[in-house]
């Protein structure tokens, strides 16, 4: 099997470009950049024709496979691209692509790109055939802890650098919006000279383009990052995200934690428990960290607090649901939370 990380694609392409490369993931910017790496590698090898298919309404996979089987009009080497927008491949499309990849000649290559494949697609026979025939590149989200280094690497490409505090400051303002982060970094390249960036220049140039979703809050809570949890909750509140959606994400994480805790307490290895609970790979470390500080009793208590928040949201119980969500998230993150008057009046 030849499944690659995005940062390993360039090295693999330097060795060879197989009949098919399939890039899928949640970060559209990195999916686009990986696809461009494939185009560049093929262009360097003389693939000067390119045909693009969009897998939207009216797409017929037979048209693509017919092109893959046809001889080039100008006897050139060619790249055939298939792009998925918001949709995902059907079994019919996947099987047709696997069969086409198996019979391609040396002058034709396939590039497929789109959103992250679901579990059923990734476990299918047709996807395994594609994996054997070519490269599969899974693009994972840039975790918050990785973001400052990601920014530093991008700045380095334009011969700029910044100290750790400045990188962290930029990360706070672009979190959850990688495409906008890319644009802000490019702006620094245009506005500031090469070398060390001053904090003042960065603060004058970089906009606050951070976007949050409820799973950013879950990551902060699991990772015991109380400051980020507060910042994320404020962002969700300001963006008008509904309380039930935020509560669902928190409660789902708590239920998963409790299942993991009970399984481990019963003698199951953590790795096996995570597989059985279908914990996404990027969140495994967060769950592991949370399990290190939370026992079953604490998790049951947290779920009771989540049920109380649910009653607030529905108007059955008095209280401010957003404040209760904040208290719950901070509690699970391990931060001290004051309840009522701290002076006891």
> Beta strands of the chain (E only): which ranges?
3-5, 20-25, 47-54, 77-83, 108-114, 135-139, 160-161, 195-196
Note whether 139 and 25 are within 8 A (CB).
Answer: yes
Tokens read off for 209: 């383009």
Q: What gap in Å lies between CA 87 and CA 116, rounded to an integer?
A: 10
Tell me which residue of 212, 187, 221, 201 sits closest to 337, measured CA to CA.
221
Residue 75 has pLDDT above 70, yes or no: no
pLDDT tens digits, residue range 177-208?
A: 888 888 889 889 988 899 999 988 888 888 76
| 141: number of Cβ within 10 Å | 18
Q: Please list, in sequence order, all residues whose beta carbon lies within 8 angstroms of the beta carbon of residue 167, skipping any fewer than 6 positions away.
A: 148, 149, 151, 152
Q: What gap in Å lies between CA 345 and CA 336, rounded to an integer?
A: 19
| pLDDT (average), residues 202-222 | 82
Q: Provide the CATH number for the domain formed by 214-333 in this structure.
A: 1.20.272.10
336 pLDDT band, cuts 50/70/90, is low
139 pLDDT band, cuts 50/70/90, is very high
Tokens read off for 86: 């918001």
Residue 109 has pLDDT above 70, yes or no: yes
pLDDT tens digits, residue range 233-282?
A: 888 887 788 889 899 999 999 999 999 999 999 999 999 999 998 888 88
**Fold that domain 144-205 belongs to in CATH:** Helicase, Ruva Protein; domain 3 (1.10.8)
Note whether 249 and 218 are within 8 A (CB).
Answer: yes
Q: What gap in Å lies between CA 231 and CA 219, rounded to an integer?
A: 13
DSSP reduced 3-state for 316: coil
| 267: number of Cβ within 10 Å | 6
Question: Could you tell me the CATH superfamily of domain 3-139?
Answer: P-loop containing nucleotide triphosphate hydrolases (3.40.50.300)
Task: List the chain domain ranges.
Answer: 3-139, 144-205, 214-333
């Amino acid at each position: 099997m030849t499944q690659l990380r995005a940062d390993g694609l360039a090295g693999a392409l330097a060795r060879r470009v197989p009949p098919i490369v399939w890039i899928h993931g949640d970060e559209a910017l990195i999916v686009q950049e990986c696809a461009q790496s494939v185009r560049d590698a093929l262009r360097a090898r003389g693939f000067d024709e390119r045909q693009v298919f969009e897998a939207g309404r009216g797409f017929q996979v037979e048209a693509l496979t017919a092109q893959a089987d046809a001889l080039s009009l100008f006897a050139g080497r060619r790249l055939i691209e298939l792009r998925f927008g918001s949709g995902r491949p059907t079994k019919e499309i996947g099987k047709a692509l696997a069969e086409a990849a198996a019979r391609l000649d040396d002058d034709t290559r396939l590039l497929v790109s789109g959103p992250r494949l679901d579990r059923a697609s990734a476990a299918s026979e047709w996807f395994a055939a594609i994996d054997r025939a070519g490269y599969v590149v899974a693009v994972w989200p840039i975790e918050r802890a990785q973001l400052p280094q990601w920014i530093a690497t991008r700045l380095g490409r334009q011969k700029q650098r910044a100290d750790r505090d400045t990188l962290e400051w930029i990360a706070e303002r672009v979190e959850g919006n990688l495409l906008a982060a890319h644009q802000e970094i490019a702006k620094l390249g245009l506005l500031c000279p090469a070398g060390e960036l001053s904090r003042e220049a960065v603060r004058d140039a970089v906009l606050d383009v951070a976007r949050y979703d409820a799973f950013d809050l879950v990551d902060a809570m699991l990772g015991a990052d109380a400051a980020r949890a507060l910042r994320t909750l404020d962002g969700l509140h300001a963006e008008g995200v509904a309380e039930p959606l935020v509560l669902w994400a928190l409660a789902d994480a708590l239920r998963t934690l409790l299942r993991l805790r009970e399984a481990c307490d019963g003698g199951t290895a953590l790795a096996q428990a995570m597989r059985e609970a279908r914990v996404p790979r990027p969140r495994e470390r967060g769950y592991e960290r949370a399990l290190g500080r939370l026992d079953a009793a604490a998790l049951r208590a947290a779920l009771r607090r989540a049920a109380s928040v649910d009653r607030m949201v529905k108007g059955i119980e008095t209280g401010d649901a957003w404040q209760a969500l904040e208290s719950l998230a901070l509690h699970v993150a391990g931060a001290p939370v004051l309840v009522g008057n701290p002076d006891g009046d």
